[in-house]
Each structure stands twice: as structure tokens, then as C-alpha cells.
């Protein structure tokens, strides 16, 4: 039987789409909260995202670990990232693309939203290492342009440059970092958006249990799950969310990673412990689902995950970004 996906007993596109839409969804065009963000506030946040004054030795910005230019997928593609003074963090840096759709921030969910998350790295001794929120404010007040820009973005404030406002501006910019991919096209009705192999991979994804955790518009990012549900994960040193909640039931639980742009955001897991997507697929099937996948299943799943790369982001994270926000070398940019 010949279908839109080639020869063989493949599921018809309309049926596959119907099954997918039961657990998945296209990404929205706007993030929650974006309706309150002015263009002036977003522009300020864009500048701050690239601002190296926000690190103690003026060597790093948000973009250092979460680059957006030239087709990068807003990750540095390292197991863990180098901080301002050359020390590495303990966890892999996740992408800032689509982050505002997630139900919490950081691998352990210790920040409720983008604004709260933005306050963390600047004061983290390993990351940007600023000594205090007051020091961040002083840096920006010393600049010849930021006082006026903050006044425009936060009109009517007697003292608009505050640490809280810095975080609010960064969050406003990050709410513009939305990608769209070929799965979105397929879910919206475009039969030809997926190749035959990708469609088979989607069908496998839907039928072997992946969507128990990786569901919704982000294919994840909406809950916590223990890594090593069936068999233990190799790295047992990071206890995950339990360090925040002090509840032993949360040991080795982490926020379920979004799979959007996953093919461009290697290495994988909270510790960056898996270098390849195929290896990660095998590991997840084994330790989460108790399955030993054959090579054909792995190849089809990897092909499907590749269709989740946003338009304008290259498969290896380096290319020409077309759908990402326009990023310029303005005021502290790079």
C-alpha cells in the first residue's frame, strides 16, 4: 500500500496527526506574559542579554552560555558551562528558546518563571559571580546609556534601574525567543512536512511510551520525573529536585526536558553525560521504559527528533538564523 509517507503499511497522515494531537500540540506564537511587554522593554532586555557588564570580570553575558546568533540553538553545546572565572557549573545549560512556555525554570524547578530565573546566574559565584544585586545596579548606572533606556522602559519610576527591573527586562526579551518547526507544520495540517522516516519515528514516539513524559506543545517542560525510573541513571551524585524540597521522594527527579530543538542542543541530560542523540534515545528507552530498541527504531526516532529543530537553527547549532529575533551588536552586544 502506498501512503503519503512511501511504500508499506504506514499510518496515513491524517490518522497519525489525529493520534499526535491527542498528546502533542503546535507551539503558540506568543508566550504567557508577552502581552504586557513593550517594545522598549524587549529591546532593553535584548541588550542586557548580551551585556558583559553583568559578570564580575566583564567576560560573560547570558549569550555566552546561551548563544543565539548565527543559527545557534541558545546553548553552548558543552556538558557544563564555564563561568566567568573558569570554573564549570554542575549542570548542563538548557536552551533559552521556548523556555517561557515551561512550567518552571532550572533543571530542579527552583525558579517559578523567567524573571526569577534571570536573577540567579548573575549572583552565582561559579557563573557570572557578581557580588550583589546592588553591584549589578551600580554597573548599569555607571553606563552613559542605560539610565535613559531604563527610564523609557519603566516610565514614572523615580529609580528605574533596579535588580528586579533588570530581570524583568531579560524575561521580556526571552519571551520573544520562540521557534517553529516542521512538527508544527504537520500538526497544523501539512502532510508533506515530515519525511517517511520522520513519520515512522513519530508513530514510534507515540506508541512506545515516550509521551508519558514528553507531551504537550514543548514535548516536555511541564512536569518532573525521576531519571532512572526503571533502571538507575549512571550518575548518582546529583539528587535533583530533592536538594530543593528536602523530600526523599524527589531524589533524582528533574524537570522533564523539552524536546523542541533537541537535535541541536547536545550533549544531553542534566549533567551533559550523553554526547549523541542516538545514545540518549537508547538510554532513555532503557532506563525509563525498560525497552531495548533495535537500530531501525533508534534511527526513526532520531529522524523524528530532527524535525523539532526550529527553522533557522542548524542541526549542529551553527548556521544562519532566519526565524530567531534580529540580534545586533548594540550596546554590549557581541
Residue 319 covered by a domain: no
Give per-residue pLDDT as tens, 117-134.
Answer: 999 999 999 999 999 999
In terms of phi and psi (left: phi > 0; alpha: psi -120 to 50; beta: otherwise), the region of 181 is beta
Q: Which helix (H) or strand (E) holds 287?
A: helix 277-289
* 164 and 289 within one domain: no
Residue 160 covered by a domain: yes
Query: What DSSP character marks residue 111?
Result: B
Pairing of strands 6-7, 253-255: unpaired
Residue 252 covered by a domain: yes
* 166 and 209 within one domain: no
How many folded domains does the chain comprise?
2
pLDDT(334) > 80: no
* 185 and 91 within one domain: no
Q: What's 224's domain CATH number?
A: 1.10.760.10
Judge contact between 162 and 177, C-beta under 8 A: no
Band of residue 4 on the pLDDT scale cut at 50, 70, 90: very low
Grid-cell match 516610565, residue found: 155
* 234 and 138 within one domain: no
Give per-residue pLDDT as tens, 130-149.
Answer: 999 999 999 999 999 999 99
* 297 and 205 within one domain: yes
Residue 6 covered by a domain: yes
- Phi, psi (degrees; rounded to nearest 5) at 111: -115, 135
Which grid cell sits at 261?
530543538
Residue 312 covered by a domain: no
Which grid cell sits at 72?
545557534
- Active-site pick, 12, 35, 127, 292: 127
* 199 and 165 within one domain: no
* 251 and 169 within one domain: no
Q: Which of 145, 132, 153 is nearest to 43 (CA)?
A: 153
pLDDT(13) > 60: yes
Give per-residue pLDDT as tens, 33-64.
Answer: 999 999 999 999 999 999 999 999 999 999 99
* 115 and 211 within one domain: no
Q: Which domain holds residue 39?
A: 34-174
Grid-cell match 557578581, residue found: 130
Judge contact between 97 and 178, C-beta under 8 A: yes
What's the distance, CA 282 to chain centroid?
22
| Least confident segment among 33-42, 251-260, 320-329 | 320-329
* 20 and 45 within one domain: no
* 25 and 38 within one domain: no
Residue 93 covered by a domain: yes
Q: Is 127 a catalytic residue?
A: yes
**pLDDT computed for residue 11 by the predictor:** 83
**pLDDT computed for residue 10 by the predictor:** 67
Residue 320 covered by a domain: no
Residue where a domain stops, chosen among 145, 174, 203: 174
Amino acid at each position: 500500500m502506498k501512503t503519503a509517507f512511501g511504500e508499506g503499511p504506514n499510518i496515513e497522515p491524517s490518522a497519525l496527526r489525529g493520534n499526535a494531537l491527542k498528546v502533542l500540540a503546535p507551539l503558540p506564537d506568543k508566550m504567557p506574559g508577552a502581552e504586557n511587554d513593550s517594545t522598549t522593554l524587549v529591546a532593553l532586555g535584548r541588550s542586557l542579554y548580551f551585556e558583559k557588564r553583568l559578570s564580575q570580570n566583564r567576560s560573560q553575558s547570558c549569550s555566552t552560555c546561551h548563544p543565539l546568533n548565527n543559527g545557534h540553538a541558545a546553548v553552548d553545546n558543552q556538558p557544563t558551562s564555564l563561568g566567568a572565572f573558569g570554573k564549570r557549573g554542575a549542570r548542563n545549560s538548557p536552551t533559552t528558546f521556548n523556555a517561557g512556555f515551561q512550567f518552571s525554570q532550572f533543571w530542579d524547578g527552583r525558579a517559578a518563571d523567567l524573571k526569577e530565573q534571570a536573577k540567579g546566574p548573575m549572583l552565582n559565584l561559579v557563573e557570572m559571580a557578581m557580588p550583589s544585586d546592588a553591584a549589578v545596579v551600580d554597573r548599569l548606572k555607571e553606563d552613559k546609556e542605560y539610565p535613559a533606556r531604563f527610564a523609557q522602559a519603566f516610565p514614572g519610576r523615580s529609580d528605574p534601574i533596579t535588580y528586579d527591573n533588570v530581570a524583568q527586562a531579560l524575561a521580556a526579551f526571552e519571551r520573544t525567543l520562540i521557534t517553529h518547526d516542521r512538527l508544527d507544520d504537520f500538526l497544523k495540517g501539512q502532510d508533506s512536512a515530515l519525511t517517511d522516516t520522520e513519520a515512522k519515528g513519530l508513530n514510534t514516539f507515540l506508541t512506545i511510551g515516550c509521551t508519558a513524559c514528553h507531551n504537550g506543545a514543548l514535548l516536555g517542560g511541564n512536569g518532573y520525573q525521576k531519571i532512572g525510573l526503571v533502571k538507575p541513571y549512571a550518575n548518582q551524585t546529583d539528587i535533583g529536585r530533592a536538594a530543593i524540597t528536602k523530600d526523599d521522594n524527589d531524589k533524582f527527579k528533574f524537570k522533564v526536558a523539552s524536546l523542541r530543538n533537541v537535535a541541536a542542543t547536545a550533549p544531553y541530560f542534566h549533567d551533559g553525560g550523553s554526547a549523541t542523540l542516538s545514545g540518549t534515545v537508547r538510554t532513555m528507552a532503557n532506563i525509563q521504559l525498560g525497552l531495548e530498541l533495535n537500530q531501525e527504531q533508534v534511527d526513526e526516532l532520531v529522524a523524528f527528533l530532527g524535525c523539532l529543530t526550529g527553522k533557522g537553527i542548524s542541526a549542529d547549532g551553527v548556521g544562519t538564523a532566519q526565524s530567531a529575533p534580529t540580534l545586533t551588536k548594540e550596546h554590549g552586544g557581541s
